[in-house]
Structure 1
């Protein structure tokens, strides 16, 4: 199994890899998302340590049950060889209707087939009002004309 683009990354392929990851996560389909990772992928997500696709699916299923109306934007921060650093923000609401904007950074490492074998994510949640939301799109994919993080001042 492979997932282009493949390392070593250049500016164009790194941006492409980030957008493909954003698009996949915005589907909120744990099975689909898990296929971008090696079968033995290692994750640190906040204080959770996750190993392999089965645990990824379990984790993401739980995440998206809690984080409703999830909308994510990722932006390339840096890259080299088979590694990419990303900053991101996503908006979501909990079951009580409280909105949040979660900000974070991720470090990614890929195998030669373009599958992510390591992911470390640090994330902070900020309560926001519904009127403060900035991520407004109805499709599962962020429209190409929707501003990214830098354009939104995030």
Structure 2
């Protein structure tokens, strides 16, 4: 179990967001857990990812806050998808751009992969290696927000 906790801590450290003047950033990793309600229905909740097994659904949350004294606009939040994870889609917050090569970004539907023999195919969720969000609206001093994406442990 200790090794699994260290593994998840290493994943959190890899999900870095470049610092921007006056913007504090924090990355949190959660595991999705099904909970049975008294009514018999099932709901999902997020719990801190202290341990996980391959296939476990995870949620990466990037929280940002303006710690400066002036509004900050056009913030770029950026997160690699760790190699031990498979990207599963956008979460809460603005719709992200994704990259399948770490350099070109766009909507997943607009990206393609050139495979063996030069055959092109549409990019898939499992091809995504990087996610980024642009927060255009000014973030006032003391204000902030969150963006997230879903992934699964390989």
Q: TM-score, normalised by structure 2?
A: 0.25
If asked which structure has higher relative contact order (CA below 8 Å, sep 6+), I would say 2
Structure with higher Rg: it is 2
Q: TM-score, normalised by structure 1?
A: 0.25
When you count strand as a share of all residues, which structure comes out higher?
2
